[in-house]
Amino acid sequence: MAFYLHIDMDSFYVSVERVLDPSLEGKPVMVGGGSGRGVVTSASYEARQFGVRSAMPGFQARRLCPDGIFVPGRRKVYSEFSAKVFDLLRTFSPDVRAFSIDEGLVNLTGTERLMGHPIRVAHEIIGRIRNELGLPSSGGLATHPTVAKIAATTVKPRGLLYVPPGSEERFLGPLDVSIIPGVGPKTHRELVDRGIATVAQLLAHPRLGGRYLNLDRPESSGRVHEHSIGSETTLAQPLLDTAAMEQVLGGLVGEVAARLRRQGGRARRITLKLRYSDFKTITRSRTLKASTCFDVDIFKVVRELFEANLAPDRPVRLLGVSTSRIITEGWQDSIFDYRERASMEQLYKGIDRLRHKYGEETVTLGAGKDHSNQASSKPRLPSVHPERSEAKSKGA
């Protein structure tokens, strides 16, 4: 029988900051938004009690929580902690999927003989993340990946929920339909307008239920996965310089592509996210003819979407890149592309080894990630920075 453990880190950015500065423990902490012009990227549960939420403008968060502590975001540090979490998860199973910097799925199928029942393993995993890394997390364990994700969501923070085989519909039934991955605000409104407010009501409509939550479909390594893999960053200051923004996008692409490769996936859909300083947000997507996990392919699409949709003379506050329609088996290119693909695979294996050993910024698109207005050249792939490698090596 299949078993999947979904791990969701609790207030991940805040939790990392508390590991580095224990004096923040128990206090209302917000990462980002300190200038009042930016947005909050993560809020502690103490801050959430005042109504503060992620993506909230900093000035609004300060008004709701005047005694809150604002700390600047450090994406590189969070990425390093994320890598430690996923390295730990891989000691329990070779099949680990990183959905985002703070969320992933561990396939525990077939591990019972070596490690015992998956519920015991799930407790051990959450305990080790806390004891070895100092980070709180929540988990959902089920025989279906989507049910495991929903279970983890319902028990945050610091919870673990096991949904035994055969009890899935009883567990899901009373929940609001918006909890299903892929049901966004627009879809939620449409479902509610049709009288479908709970998961039980959705499952009562077989065609709709099969579209959004098919509990009978077996998990297969070769099917198209419904989750997305993405990364976004709120800039310290709004940017107008397109070259500087492209360098930020190059860094985001590198992170997303590396996570795709780590889970053995390739994506067919690429999405760009732009948020302006007035908080207006747009997303633009493109579906590829062939799936890919290579930085250069993803960045080509991201740059085209960026150039086609960037509004002139409007400062950008947030940039994001995500991939979806992910497959984990079966390349879709032609036989004439085989040699080129094999060469690219070897190239990126080397790049990933360098990044793992020396840090994410060792190999980047162009001259590296720069969140200032000083970027002077457009990204290109790849650039290796031996001086960064040496610095990291000496400091290790």
Catalytic residue positions, numbered: 103
- In sequence order, what are the residues at sequence separation of 6 or more whose Cβ sits closer than 8 angstroms to the Cβ of residue 256? 229, 230, 231, 298, 321, 322, 323
Whether the CB-CB separation of 254 and 293 falls below 8 Å is answered with no
Nearest to 272 by CA among 300, 296, 291, 292: 300
The SS3 call for residue 331 is coil
Phi, psi angle pair for 41, to nearest 5°: -95, -20
> At 61, phi and psi to the nearest 5?
-60, -40
Q: How far apart are CA 396 and CA 236, in angstroms?
A: 28
CA dist list (Å): 88 to 130, 199, 357 = 11, 34, 16
Q: How many CB atoms lie within 10 A of CB 375?
A: 23
Radius of gyration (Cα) for the chain, nearest Å?
A: 21
Residue found by looking up tokens 């035994």 in the block: 164
Token pair 């983890």: residue? 152
Which amino acid is residue 122, in one-letter code?
A: A
The one-character DSSP state at 168 is H
Beta-carbon count within 10 A of 213 CB: 25
